[in-house]
Structure 1
Amino acid sequence: MYETTNRRQKIKLFIIIMLPILVTQVSMNLMNFFDTVMSGQASAVDLAGVAIGSSLWIPILTAVNGIVLAITPIIAQLIGAKEKKDIPQVIQQGIYLSIVLSCIILIAGFFILDPVLHLMSLEPDVHHVAKYYLVSLATGIMPLFIFHTVRSFMDGLGQTRASMIIILISLPINALLNYIFIFGKLGIPAFGGVGAGIATSITYWIVSIISLYMIHRVAPFTSYQIFQVRFKPQISYWLSQLKIGLPIGLAMFFETSIFSAVTIMMSVYDTNTIAAHQAAMNFAGLLYMLPLSVGMALTIAVGFEIGAKRFKDARSYTYLGITGGILIAVFTGIILFVFDGAVARLYHTNPEVITLTKQFILFAIFYQLADAIGAPIQGALRGYKDVNVTLVLALISYWLIGLPVGYLFANYTDFDAFGYWIGIIVGLSAGAAALLFRLLYIQRKVKVKQNYQMKRS
């Protein structure tokens, strides 16, 4: 990161920061994409099982990633304020915290996985695939969260290309491992959808090892000497990170868990409907990486400018990101509308599944617009370290508005399963509008504070 003096420089720097984040996010999402698509080629049962497993895993993943993501604005503001000496302690404590969080998830999963799956009344084969997909995936949770901690450090420095390189190295490895474990190659039994969990877990270990090596041995990260002095775990640092990260994580959990809740509520439908729903949701999730990357880049840029007390520049980056998000929404909408059939055929060859997937994709076009506005605003608010109100807005928008609306449309109108997607659209739209008002309030508050300080000086 560096200071910019005009709009053209800001656009250039923002693109330099965002593009590697975009490649990284898309590539990481492609791992889930490969899991789903390649499992679907095995059978509809494997596709449905991985769909259910993913719907349970992704909210937990995003919640913990949100906690870890707090390191990005912390590092960005430290760099902006030229306080580099505190960075090694922050990163080491973040790694300790990620290990503790991983242990908590593993212990909780041991006790609640079976009861949750039994509540869903799944077909026996789908139940089996979902359970052991998650069990396999669980073996890679700890290295995954360590990687995300290291990645947040890299991104906070503005060195977003480093994490991009790591993921680009691991992506073909993940695809190859999926091929081996799902279909049974090189003398290994065909595990079907469960094999996708095994492959992804191994990939998580690979990215973690590479990332730790890079910050220990590769410039410019070596200049921060992250591991030269070993710090003992300190709960005070964990609490400091949790103060920012927990609201971020819970807000992201509320947003992603509504999709999982919808998938769970749709478990009463037949396997083809579940498979089609997940196929459309999986591809829409891939496209969501575009506005999400804008939001993550805004966290870095806004955090850096706030740390340097250049509040006007922080606002400029914010509006730049929101504009980009809207343009992205138009682009992704066109992609979904024009290529709905091609997208559906990526996931399955069953004509009924393809037809249902195309219908779900039409609804995805509308919620992409709300996502493309809301995600950049969330990123900007994280840069301001304003996270608590965002958490409340997420809970209200997604769970108190979106999900009830979806339930009513699904159960009391002719929309049937598609009614849940209407609820998603309503919830995301309400969230985006509320976040915009919050952003405008925070910007006015910062401006008033700045004017007051200028008058006193």
Structure 2
Amino acid sequence: MYETSTLKEKLKLFTTILIPILITQVSMYLMNIFDTVMSGRASAVDLAGVAIGSSLWVPIFTGINGILLAITPIIAQLVGAKATNEVSNKVQQGIYLSIGLAVIVYLAGIMVLDPVLQLMDLESEVRHIAKYYLISLGAGIIPLFIFNTLRCFIDALGQTRISMIIILISLPLNIFFNYVFIFGKFGVPAFGGIGSGIATAITYWLVCLIALGIVYKISPFRTFHTLSNWVKPSLKVWREQLKIGLPIGFAMFFETSIFSAVTLLMSVYSTYTIAAHQAAINFASLLYMIPLSVGMALTIAIGYEIGGKRFDEARIYGYIGISGGIFIAIFAGLVLYLTNDWVAAMYSSNQEVIELTKQFIYYAIFFQLADAFGAPIQGALRGYKDVNMTFIMAFVSYWIIGLPTGWLLANYTALEPFGYWVGIIVGLSCGAVALLWRLLYLQKKYARMSIQ
């Protein structure tokens, strides 16, 4: 990161940060897609087992990752304030915390995995695959959380291309390991869907080791000495990260878990309807990587400027992000409208599923309009370290407004399953408006501070 003085310089720096983040996020999302698609090539039972396991894992992973994301604004503000001597301690404490969180997740999984799967109306074989897919994947949780902490440190310095390179290396490796362990190649037994969990865990270990090597050996990271002269774990520093990270984590958990809740509520409809819903959500989630990446880039840029007390520059980056969100929303809506036939056919050859998927995609156009506006603003607020209000807004907009509205529309109007999508659209729209109000309030607050 570096200081900029003109709008052109800001746009250039912001784009330099954003594009690698976008490629990284899309590549990470593709890993999950390849796990599911390649498992489906083994059998329908393997596909169902991995899909169930993934639906349980993703909200938990997203929530924990939100906690780890707190490192980004913390480091960005320290670098902006030229307090680089404090960076090493923050990163080391973040690594300690990531290991602690991984252990908690793993122990919680041991206690609740069987009861949760038993509550679901699953065939015994599907339940078996889902269980051991998650157990296999669990072997890579610790390195995954360490990697995410290191990635936040790398990105906070504006070196987002490094994270991109690591993930671009790991994606083909993940596909190769899936091929080996799912289908049983090179003398390895065929594990089916469980093999995708093994492959993912191995990939997590590899990306962690690569990130550790880069941070230890390559400039500018090695100048911070984050992997040498280790300090003792500090509850005080953990509290600082958790104070920022927990609200981010809960906000992201509320956002991702609502889709799992809607999927469960839609189980009363036909298999074709559920399949079409999942297909549309899957593609819309891929498009969501764009505004999510804009938000992550804003966290870095605004955090850096706030750390240097350049509040006017932070406000300009906020406007760049909001403008980008609007452009992205229009572009993504156009893509969805023009490609709905192709997208629907990509997920299924069944004509009824294709027609239903196309209908869901039309709702997804409005769905992503609100998301593409709100996600960049969330990232901007994280740059200000303003996370508590975002957490409250996420809970209210998704679970108090969105889900009940969807349930009412689905059960008491002719919309039926599409009612849940309308409910989510309403919730996301309310959340986006509230987030914009909060950002404008903070910008005015910091503008007054710059005058004083």
What's the TM-score bracket when you normalise by the shorter of the two chains?
over 0.9
- Equivalent residue, structure 2, for 1:412: 412
Secondary structure at 1:4 match in 2: coil
Change (3 A) 1:194 1:338: farther
In terms of mean alpha carbon deviation, does 404-413 or 309-318 score higher?
Answer: 404-413
Please report the RMSD computed on the Cα atoms of aligned residues, expressed in angstroms.
1.7
Secondary structure at 1:339 match in 2: helix
1:56-94 deviation per Cα after TM superposition (whole angstroms, max 9, x unaligned): 211111111111111001111001100001111111110
- Superposed, 1:170-249 pairs within 5 Å as 170-249=170-249
Contact 1:48 1:274 in 2 (8 A): no
Relative to the length of structure 1, the TM-score reads 0.95
Contact 1:51 1:275 in 2 (8 A): no
Contact 1:80 1:306 in 2 (8 A): yes
- Equivalent residue, structure 1, for 2:430: 430
Output the CA distance in 2 between the equivalents of 1:198 and 1:351: 35
- Equivalent residue, structure 2, for 1:289: 289
Secondary structure at 2:415 match in 1: coil
- Superposed, 1:8-407 pairs within 5 Å as 8-407=8-407
Change (3 A) 1:148 1:3: same
Change (3 A) 1:313 1:336: same
Output the CA distance in 1 between the equivalents of 2:184 and 2:196: 11
| CA-CA distance at 1:26 after TM superposition | 0.7
In terms of mean alpha carbon deviation, does 415-424 or 36-45 score higher?
Answer: 36-45
Output the CA distance in 2 between the equivalents of 1:120 and 1:418: 24
1:190-241 deviation per Cα after TM superposition (whole angstroms, max 9, x unaligned): 3333322222121111111100111001111111111221111111111111
| CA-CA distance at 1:159 after TM superposition | 0.6
Change (3 A) 1:186 1:344: farther
Secondary structure at 2:5 match in 1: coil
Relative to the length of structure 2, the TM-score reads 0.96
| Bigger relative CO (Cα 8 Å, ≥ 6 apart) | 1
Contact 1:89 1:231 in 2 (8 A): yes
Give, as a single letter, the amino acid of the residue that structure 2 aligns with 1:10: K
Output the CA distance in 2 between the equivalents of 1:216 and 1:151: 13
Output the CA distance in 2 between the equivalents of 1:234 and 1:276: 48
Contact 1:47 1:275 in 2 (8 A): no
In terms of mean alpha carbon deviation, does 342-351 or 281-290 score higher?
Answer: 342-351
Give, as a single letter, the amino acid of the residue that structure 1 aligns with 2:33: F
Change (3 A) 1:133 1:416: farther
In terms of mean alpha carbon deviation, does 357-366 or 145-154 score higher?
Answer: 357-366
Give, as a single letter, the amino acid of the residue that structure 1 aligns with 2:389: V
In terms of mean alpha carbon deviation, does 192-201 or 256-265 score higher?
Answer: 192-201
In terms of mean alpha carbon deviation, does 427-436 or 37-46 score higher?
Answer: 37-46
Output the CA distance in 2 between the equivalents of 1:259 and 1:415: 18
Change (3 A) 1:352 1:130: farther
Contact 1:44 1:275 in 2 (8 A): no
Give, as a single letter, the amino acid of the residue that structure 2 aligns with 1:177: F
Output the CA distance in 2 between the equivalents of 1:370 and 1:197: 33
Secondary structure at 2:382 match in 1: helix
| CA-CA distance at 1:269 after TM superposition | 4.0
Change (3 A) 1:49 1:140: same
Output the CA distance in 1 between the equivalents of 2:411 and 2:182: 36
| CA-CA distance at 1:271 after TM superposition | 4.3
Change (3 A) 1:32 1:95: same
Give, as a single letter, the amino acid of the residue that structure 1 aligns with 2:63: A
Contact 1:48 1:271 in 2 (8 A): no
| CA-CA distance at 1:424 after TM superposition | 1.5
Output the CA distance in 2 between the equivalents of 1:353 and 1:178: 27
Give, as a single letter, the amino acid of the residue that structure 2 aligns with 1:397: S
| CA-CA distance at 1:418 after TM superposition | 2.4
Moved over 6 A (4+): none
- Equivalent residue, structure 1, for 2:7: 7
In terms of mean alpha carbon deviation, does 421-430 or 393-402 score higher?
Answer: 421-430
Unmatched tracts of structure 1, length 5 or more: none
1:330-379 deviation per Cα after TM superposition (whole angstroms, max 9, x unaligned): 22122222222322333344444433333322222211111101110000
Output the CA distance in 2 between the equivalents of 1:234 and 1:294: 32
Give, as a single letter, the amino acid of the residue that structure 2 aligns with 1:390: T
Contact 1:37 1:347 in 2 (8 A): no
| CA-CA distance at 1:450 after TM superposition | 2.3
Give, as a single letter, the amino acid of the residue that structure 2 aligns with 1:214: I
Output the CA distance in 2 between the equivalents of 1:331 and 1:181: 39
Give, as a single letter, the amino acid of the residue that structure 2 aligns with 1:136: S
| CA-CA distance at 1:43 after TM superposition | 4.0
Contact 1:66 1:246 in 2 (8 A): yes
Give, as a single letter, the amino acid of the residue that structure 2 aligns with 1:180: V
Change (3 A) 1:47 1:257: same
Output the CA distance in 2 between the equivalents of 1:50 and 1:431: 32
Q: Aligned residues: percent identity?
A: 66
Give, as a single letter, the amino acid of the residue that structure 2 aligns with 1:69: L
Output the CA distance in 2 between the equivalents of 1:188 and 1:279: 32
Equivalent residue pairs, number: 452
Contact 1:247 1:387 in 2 (8 A): yes
Contact 1:35 1:50 in 2 (8 A): yes
Output the CA distance in 1 between the equivalents of 2:291 and 2:424: 17
Secondary structure at 1:114 match in 2: helix
Change (3 A) 1:448 1:64: same
Change (3 A) 1:340 1:128: farther
1:121-146 deviation per Cα after TM superposition (whole angstroms, max 9, x unaligned): 23444333332322222121111110
Unmatched tracts of structure 2, length 5 or more: none
